[in-house]
């Protein structure tokens, strides 16, 4: 086995294609439905929202989809990202496990989000689109799309959940530094926003509302398209550069993961690390135990229903089959803002149903505890979202110690926590509490799931 | 010439030694003096503050000083750092210049500071020291030492300038995450602190005061030593890993810099990138134009006096010959907190006197403008300090365009700006103003320079 701590690859080793797991599914993904007719929607239905190339990727069953050269040129600014062997963490945990992590925090936005923001901006510009509207919760995705827009000369408008807009002025400034326009949501700029503000003048906003606003803006303007930072097939596709690089780096390390772990909000960073290994499993019969770590306060995979649902609060999106808490579900306050979504990527949901992906839910203090342990060993302070994956990896490493078995564990460290120090401040001051979702709210939200027209 | 954008090196290429420019100086550095006697101080005088290995490095004239293996093992967490060719910036500036930058923001603390924090923590632990006291202004240095302390099991106490302590709770939380204790300065924990609080109950604190407190704590406790994040010879020495790696990466790029640029506060990141190239110049006769970019609001190199002065406000340090604005000088408010020091590293000052280093002062809005231009081309949002180097590099690239000459420009991008978004927020809102220092204050501060005993 290779004794290195860090596995870096030259820019010539950036993957030339993304991996499309749809090509290897034993059972195809359920279709996306039109909420009015209950019929499967086609590419034309998506045309108001996305450029043709992204729609083609959304429905493609090609295994490998070429990464355009201008996208690879931008990827060179931070990719390939390093893969580490966490030797110091292994020693502290006194575990026979070999712990590896892929670190996406080296991107200019500090997370994995630019992996898809860049191709989305590229394909929009390529289709002559002048503006992209999107939503952001904690700000990671908005920052990434702002960055990507600046590279390709595409204007970016970001609807930012109002409470984050007010509490995280730094995130707003970050987006503005790249030239994006950032608007508190609900806003006065859309019908959805105006209606909600009239009904609930003091609302803190939500991701579901912000999505409705961005979708409405894109659908109502010819020069504007919409972009989503997770959930959709093409978004997950773009993130597979993570796992494809990791496959190559594990080969340099002369090792192969027994366990692959990612945190799941919408599912994209998880898919990024896991899908290429799942592909190996499907095609080559390799055995990998794949674990999706989600927040116990917003547990779509472990407590949600696998059903058709809307992606947004305003019910402007098509119906997708996914694990969902219902679009009326509102999670209690917790710090991993990127994991506060009511649904889960259809591809991830499908793989859970097929028994390929194993979900697990964690409370936040256990995650922050894991993050601080990790930071004191490996140096990097993880984003609160990433702490869920760290927790999962540490638990598996402890299990290896208890069972006296050496397994190779690979997890995705999807971003650094430099923008999230308020959360750490609370944790370190002993003020952080575990919050559970409201079971009555979940019940009522699930009862409101849409009825699919026959 | 190599057509790559990014030049990465494997961890096996981390330098095995630091480069000591003192070995190649045509005129030796003026001695450090005891403020009471005016006599040159010896290693024994420094023993209360530093462990023997660091004192030996402080006065060494060996050209290459070996990097201990445990330090190199920690360096592997982020080193070698990447060197980039800024091809997108070149295109936007329409310049024939070849612009390269070394990026130190990939360290876990987001800056170059861990390069010296790690060996300082190592040598202290190696000498049986249980605790290190230090000061921090904006928080970069305190964060780095907190990180380094956590690796070697050394307790770290950080005196943080009170105004930063209150305005930057995230920085405090960052240090605490690594287990450090962070105290607002002036504090009640030292005589200096108590005296200043009695005289000036509402003082915002200053770096000079915080240094006095940390030095006092170290000098008065057997189990505690002191650590400084810049200025001293051994600190600059440790930073030369930056330039040594850059030399190797420029060779991979099949190029060599005509111009090397760094920003200067205390001088350490500048020395880190520049000294190995200055060594080439001294020994091999290579021609390199070396530029030190400092803030116009705290212009020690361009407006200070080259004289013996104290390093701190409380006058607890020895006297060192350096470019200084006087220890009574207080700069006006500006955002590059890491560049707010009244003095300059003796080695950098000496090289300016020898005509080897060319200083230049910039106002902050011009620097933020450069930083935003850079971010929109290269993706990375620089720290406000680093923006001074970006400004210098862009100006040189524009000069290349005007003169129709292609020169290779290398600058050090010493950190990212993710912790400094307040500053960008002000800049982007058009609220940032250029501030000049108070000439009367400078005059009076220079008049208070210590008289060296005969």
Instruction: Select from A355, A366, A375 the least CA-distant residue to A295.
Output: A366
Q: Does A422 touch chain B (CB under 8 A)?
A: yes
Backbone phi and psi for residue A410, each to the nearest 5 degrees, phi listed first: -120, 130
Instruction: Mark residue B430 as left, alpha or beta (left: phi above 0; alpha: psi -120 to 50; beta: remaining).
Output: left
**pTM for the whole thing?**
0.95
* A288-316 average pLDDT score: 95
**B210 in helix, strand or coil?**
helix
Q: Does A88 touch chain B (CB under 8 A)?
A: yes
pLDDT of residue A396: 98
- d(CA A425, CA A85) in angstroms, rounded, equals 28
User: Which domains are assigned to chain B?
Assistant: 6-14+66-110+234-447 (3.40.50.1100)
Instruction: Tell me which of A223-232, A251-260, B197-206 is least confident.
Output: B197-206
* B135-156 average pLDDT score: 95
Convert the pLDDT of each residue in B191-221 to its tens digit: 999 999 999 999 888 888 899 999 999 999 9
pLDDT of residue B314: 83
Answer for the pair B359, B292: CB distance below 8 angstroms, yes or no.
yes
- d(CA A452, CA A239) in angstroms, rounded, equals 31
Instruction: Tell me which of A19-33, A125-139, A202-216, B439-453 is least confident.
Output: A202-216
Instruction: Mark residue A179 as left, alpha or beta (left: phi above 0; alpha: psi -120 to 50; beta: remaining).
Output: left
Answer for the pair B238, B267: CB distance below 8 angstroms, yes or no.
no
- d(CA B307, CA A345) in angstroms, rounded, equals 66
pLDDT of residue B453: 80
pLDDT of residue B332: 85
pLDDT of residue A168: 81
pLDDT of residue A55: 97
Which chain B residues are within 8 Å of A84, Cβ to Cβ? Answer: 77
pLDDT at A1 over 80: no
The H or E element that residue A360 is part of is strand A357-362
* B272-278 average pLDDT score: 98
Q: What angle do CA B287, B291, B294 make, to 5 degrees?
A: 170
Q: Where are the alpha helices (DSSP H) in B200-284?
A: 207-220, 233-252, 268-284
Q: Which residue of B has its CA nearest to A12?
A: B4
Indicate yes or no: CB of A5 within 8 angstroms of CB of B422. Answer: no
Reported in sequence order, the residue ranges of B112-196 that DSSP labels E, i.e. its strands, are: 131-136, 155-161, 181-185
Q: Does B419 touch chain A (CB under 8 A)?
A: yes
pLDDT of residue A422: 87
Distant-in-sequence, close-in-space partners of B3: CB < 8 Å, separation ≥ 6: none
pLDDT of residue A453: 81
Q: What is the largest CA-CA distance in chain A?
A: 63
Nearest by CB: B77 against A147, A170, A378:
A378
Average pLDDT, chain B: 95
* B92-97 average pLDDT score: 98
ipTM of the complex: 0.94
* B51-71 average pLDDT score: 97
- d(CA B265, CA A289) in angstroms, rounded, equals 51
**DSSP conformation class of A448:** T
* B417-446 average pLDDT score: 93
Indicate yes or no: CB of A8 within 8 angstroms of CB of B4. Answer: no
Which chain B residues are within 8 Å of A111, Cβ to Cβ? Answer: none
pLDDT at B454 over 80: no
Indicate yes or no: CB of B177 within 8 angstroms of CB of A428. Answer: yes
Indicate yes or no: CB of A173 within 8 angstroms of CB of B428. Answer: yes
Cα–Cα distances (Å) from A165 to A162, A183, A415, B417, B422, in that order, read: 5, 8, 20, 19, 14
- d(CA B187, CA B132) in angstroms, rounded, equals 17
Q: Does B2 touch chain A (CB under 8 A)?
A: no
Burial of A59 (0-12, 13-18, 19+ CB in 10 A): middle
**DSSP conformation class of A419:** T
Instruction: Select from B192, B432, B195, B187 the least CA-distant residue to B332.
Output: B432
Instruction: Tell me which of A219-223, B111-115, B256-260 is least confident.
Output: A219-223
* B132-138 average pLDDT score: 92
Instruction: Mark residue A355 as left, alpha or beta (left: phi above 0; alpha: psi -120 to 50; beta: remaining).
Output: left
Indicate yes or no: CB of A88 within 8 angstroms of CB of B151. Answer: yes
- d(CA B323, CA A130) in angstroms, rounded, equals 52
Instruction: Select from B319, B329, B261 the least CA-distant residue to B294.
Output: B261
In sign, the C-alpha dihedral spanning A102, A106, A107, A112 is positive
Nearest by CB: A379 against B108, B169, B421:
B108
Q: Does A369 touch chain B (CB under 8 A)?
A: no
pLDDT of residue A48: 93
Q: Work out the pLDDT band at A164, boundaries 50, 70, 90.
A: confident
* B367-393 average pLDDT score: 97
Q: Work out the pLDDT band at B316, boundaries 50, 70, 90.
A: confident
Which chain B residues are within 8 Å of A74, Cβ to Cβ? Answer: 379
Q: What is the largest CA-CA distance in chain B?
A: 63
Which chain A residues are within 8 Å of B106, Cβ to Cβ? Answer: 106
The H or E element that residue A321 is part of is strand A319-324
Q: Work out the pLDDT band at B225, boundaries 50, 70, 90.
A: very high
Share above pLDDT 70 across residues of chain A, in percent, rounded to a whole number: 100
Indicate yes or no: CB of B6 within 8 angstroms of CB of A424. Answer: no
Instruction: Tell me which of A133-142, A244-253, B17-26 is least confident.
Output: A133-142
Convert the pLDDT of each residue in A42-88 to its tens digit: 999 999 999 999 999 999 999 999 999 999 999 999 999 999 999 99
pLDDT of residue B107: 95
Backbone phi and psi for residue A347, each to the nearest 5 degrees, phi listed first: -65, -40
Crossing angle of helices A169-177 and A140-152, in 10° steps, is: 10
Answer for the pair B121, B44: CB distance below 8 angstroms, yes or no.
no
pLDDT at B2 over 90: no
Q: Report how far Cα A242 is from the mean position of its chain's Cα atoms.
A: 12
Average pLDDT, chain A: 95
Indicate yes or no: CB of A422 within 8 angstroms of CB of B5. Answer: no
The H or E element that residue B394 is part of is helix B384-403
Answer for the pair B205, B337: CB distance below 8 angstroms, yes or no.
no
Answer for the pair A210, A137: CB distance below 8 angstroms, yes or no.
yes
Convert the pLDDT of each residue in A334-355 to its tens digit: 888 778 889 999 999 999 999 9
Q: Does A138 touch chain B (CB under 8 A)?
A: no
* B146-162 average pLDDT score: 96
Share above pLDDT 90 across residues of chain A, in percent, rounded to a whole number: 88
Convert the pLDDT of each residue in A423-434 to its tens digit: 999 999 999 999
Share above pLDDT 90 across residues of chain B, in percent, rounded to a whole number: 88
**DSSP conformation class of B318:** -
Convert the pLDDT of each residue in A365-408 to its tens digit: 999 999 999 999 999 999 999 999 999 999 999 999 999 999 99
pLDDT at A454 over 80: no
């Amino acid at each position: 086995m290779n004794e290195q701590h860090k596995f870096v690859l030259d820019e010539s080793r950036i993957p030339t294609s993304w991996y499309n797991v749809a090509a290897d599914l034993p059972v195809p993904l359920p279709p996306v439905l039109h909420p009015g007719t209950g019929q499967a929607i086609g590419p034309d239905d998506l045309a108001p929202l996305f450029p043709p190339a992204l729609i083609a990727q959304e429905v493609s069953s090609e295994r490998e989809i070429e990464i355009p050269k201008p996208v690879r040129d931008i990827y060179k600014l931070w990719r390939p990202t390093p893969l580490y062997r966490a030797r110091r963490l292994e020693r502290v945990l006194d575990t026979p496990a070999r712990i590896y992590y892929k670190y996406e925090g080296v991107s200019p936005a500090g997370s994995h989000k630019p992996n898809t923001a860049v191709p989305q901006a590229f394909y929009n510009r390529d289709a002559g689109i002048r503006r992209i509207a999107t939503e952001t919760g904690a700000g990671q995705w908005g920052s990434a799309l702002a960055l990507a827009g600046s590279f390709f000369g595409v204007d970016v408008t970001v609807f930012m959940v109002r409470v984050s807009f007010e509490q995280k002025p730094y995130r707003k400034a970050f987006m503005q530094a790249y030239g994006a326009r950032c608007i508190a949501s609900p806003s006065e700029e859309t019908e959805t926003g105006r209606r909600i503000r009239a009904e609930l003048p003091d609302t803190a906003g939500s991701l579901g509302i912000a999505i409705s606003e961005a979708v409405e803006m894109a659908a109502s303007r010819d020069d504007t398209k919409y972009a989503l930072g997770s959930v959709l097939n093409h978004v997950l596709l773009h993130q597979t550069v993570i796992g494809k690089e990791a496959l190559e780096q594990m080969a340099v390390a002369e090792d192969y993961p027994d366990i692959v772990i990612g945190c799941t909000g919408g599912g994209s960073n998880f898919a990024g690390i896991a899908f290429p290994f799942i592909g190996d499993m499907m095609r080559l019969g390799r055995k990998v135990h794949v674990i999706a770590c989600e927040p116990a306060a917003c547990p779509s995979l472990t407590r949600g229903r696998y059903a058709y649902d809307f992606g947004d609060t305003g019910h402007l999106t098509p119906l997708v089959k996914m694990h969902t808490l219902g679009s009326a579900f509102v999670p209690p306050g917790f710090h991993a803002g990127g994991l506060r979504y009511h649904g889960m990527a259809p591809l991830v949901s499908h793989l859970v149903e097929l028994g390929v992906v194993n979900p697990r839910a964690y409370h936040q203090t256990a995650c922050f505890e894991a993050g601080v342990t990790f930071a004191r060993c490996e140096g990097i302070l993880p984003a609160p979202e990433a702490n869920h994956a760290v927790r999962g990896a540490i638990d598996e490493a402890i299990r290896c110690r208890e069972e006296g078995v050496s397994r190779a564990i690979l997890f995705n460290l999807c971003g650094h926590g430099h923008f999230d120090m308020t959360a750490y401040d609370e944790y370190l001051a002993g003020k952080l509490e575990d919050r559970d979702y409201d079971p009555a709210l979940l019940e009522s939200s699930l009862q409101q799931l849409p009825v699919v027209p026959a």
